[in-house]
Amino acid sequence: MPSGVLASLWRRGSVRRPVWLPPFWHSVIVALVLVAVCLPFLYVIWRAAQVGLERSIALLWRERVAQLLFNTIALMVTVTAIAVFLGAGAAWCIERTNLAGRPVWSVLASLPLCIPAFVSSYTWVSISSIFEGFGGAVLILSLATYPLVYLPVAAALKGLDPALEEVSQSLGRNRWQTFRGVVLPQLKPALGGGALLVSLHMLAEFGALALLRYQTFTTAIFEEYELEFSNASAALLAFVLLLLCLPIILVELRMRGRTQLARVGRGTRRATVVLSLGRWQWPVLAVFAAVAILGLLVPLGMLAYWLTHGTSAGVDWGALAASAWDSLSLSLLGALCTVLCAIPVVLAAIRHRARLGIWLDRIPYAAHALPGLVIALSLAFFSISYVSWAYQTWLLILLAYVVLYLPLAQVSIRAALEQLPAGIEDVGHALGHGSWSVFCKITLPCIAPGVAAAGALVFLQLMKELTATLILAPIGVDTLSMQVWSATNNAAFAAAAPYAAVLILISGIPVHILRKTVYFDAQ
């Protein structure tokens, strides 16, 4: 049977799609990645079990733990809701309306990713202490994380064929019914993925909250380790944090559902119909301007102020260059390792339909909710106990980066793979090509934009990573984030400014790649 006819039959459902077994090398990589991801869980469970049942109940049944639980959930829910509202709203206005200056607003909506949350926090706190606490945390973290929702939703809107909406409207449905029945189901994976990342990020956030003096489980865990040297009590709090992330993952899985994103057909996609904002043009512009001022102008303005005042004039340029090199080296290698590990995991969950495929794809998300401190300590414990030669080496810190940021790579790669019809790869298998040949000649070229976006996103986050690097970085390694944290922790705002400025400038590179990658500019 000709390959074109075979592919056509598979697309129409006349022939059941075969399930191709993954090659041995693929299964080995997935197994090793899962073992590494599960190490922090084993460490947390083992340490928490050492506390004992009676003492665990006594430790958890305290007013302070109840307050930490309330603070953590309140921050997570509020920031996620605001980030989804701002990100999805910005994506809709930029991609589907006649908003004035849409290309400019598209750039400005992505730029907050360049500014680490703890850098924004220190600039706001340097203005006044009134920004400390819950209100300041919600304001700063919402402005810092809404691009995580904006980028995937904007990509989904660009990739959505307007013909689907035209068919719905031709059947007598109005715009609201068309949006609810046609557009929203296609946006659910992007919305759910973005909201999941924001929620888990809030569970694990430390640097910004420590500067803002807002107590959550993560800051309490750090205090238990650093001040009281109580590994067991801290692990118990981390175990509660793990339990908190489970319902979040379940909700995201329900939102994702079984939506079919791959589009198979001939011809070009129809041009998108742009809606007129009418009298809402100026109010919407005012909201965009306010978000840009609060999220960009204020932090960058205060950073510029501290660059020109105080001790920043006497910066050690040699130390600054060394820190920039350490940050670039660790981030580039960490991003490469993370992407190489994410590709087989996503393929195993989506293409090969591995057993427990859904949880195979979601276990790393649970690890993403753990503070970097817990992951670093768990890897340090296992390395000292079983592979002591790996302690204080680049290998261990790169492994920590993979465990921490594997979900970020999964989001981009999964989105690209879901838009690739499986029948194309099936034809390659049917023509006698092996799994490696099909992957190199068909799958990888088609998902390359998603892989590039994954690498850029992970690199961006690694440039800002703090807690795991503080513990696992080899002797002599001082990243830009470590220098900023050391200075701001001592209220030396001017001394931190040069390192923060270089960190923001370098972070602009992956943000530019994210915007220009075809995955986020789907046509």
Phi-psi domain of 392 (left: phi exceeds 0; alpha: psi -120 through 50; beta: other): left
Residue 31 has which token pair? Answer: 């197994």
Q: For 410-470, what is the HEC assignment?
A: HHHHHHHHHCCCHHHHHHHHHCCCCHHHHHHHHHHHHHHHHHHHHHHHHHHHHHHCCHHHH
Residue 55 has which token pair? Answer: 């003492």
What average pLDDT does range 10-37 have in this prediction?
Answer: 64
Dist. CA 80–CA 210, nearest whole Å: 19
What pLDDT does residue 454 have? 84
Dist. CA 476–CA 479, nearest whole Å: 10
Dist. CA 141–CA 134, nearest whole Å: 10
Summarised one tens digit per residue, pLDDT across range 328-368 is 999 999 999 999 988 888 888 776 655 555 666 677 777 77
Residue 223 placed within a domain? yes
Dist. CA 288–CA 290, nearest whole Å: 6
Residue 465 placed within a domain? yes
Catalogue the E-assigned strands of 153-257: none
What pLDDT does residue 165 have? 63
Consecutive H or E run containing 292? helix 281-292
Q: Within 13 A of 65's CA, how many CA atoms are on the CB side?
A: 16
Dist. CA 519–CA 517, nearest whole Å: 5
* Listed residue (392, 412, 371) closest to 152, CA to CA: 412
Q: 470, exposed or middle or buried, with CB in 10 Å at 0-12, 13-18, 19+? A: middle
Dist. CA 73–CA 80, nearest whole Å: 10
What pLDDT does residue 252 have? 67
Residue-range definition of the domain harbouring residue 392: 19-259+279-521
Residue 190 has which token pair? Answer: 């992007």
CATH number at residue 351: 1.10.3720.10
Residue 3 placed within a domain? no
What's the one-letter identity of residue 177? Answer: Q
Residue 96 has which token pair? Answer: 């589907």
State how far the alpha carbon of 442 is from the alpha carbons of 351, 421, 423, 439, 475, in Å. 13, 11, 11, 6, 43
Residue 59 has which token pair? Answer: 């430790």
Which of the pair, 316 or 121, is modelled with greater confidence? 121
Residue 7 placed within a domain? no
Which of the pair, 172 or 222, is modelled with greater confidence? 222
Residue 430 has which token pair? Answer: 């049917």
Residue 268 placed within a domain? no
State how far the alpha carbon of 512 is from the alpha carbons of 91, 113, 116, 408, 509, in Å. 17, 10, 16, 17, 5
Residue 202 placed within a domain? yes
| Gyration radius of the chain over CA positions | 24
* Listed residue (234, 212, 490, 196) closest to 371, CA to CA: 234
Dist. CA 167–CA 170, nearest whole Å: 5
Summarised one tens digit per residue, pLDDT across range 386-422 is 888 888 888 899 999 999 888 888 877 877 777 677 6
Consecutive H or E run containing 255? helix 231-256
Q: Are 450 and 34 in contact (CB under 8 A)?
A: no
Which of the pair, 424 or 511, is modelled with greater confidence? 511
Average pLDDT along the chain: 78
Residue 271 placed within a domain? no
What pLDDT does residue 11 have? 45
Residue 269 placed within a domain? no
Residue 10's pLDDT band, with cuts at 50, 70 and 90, is: very low
Q: Look at residue 275 and give its three-state secondary structure.
A: strand
- Number of domains composing the chain: 1
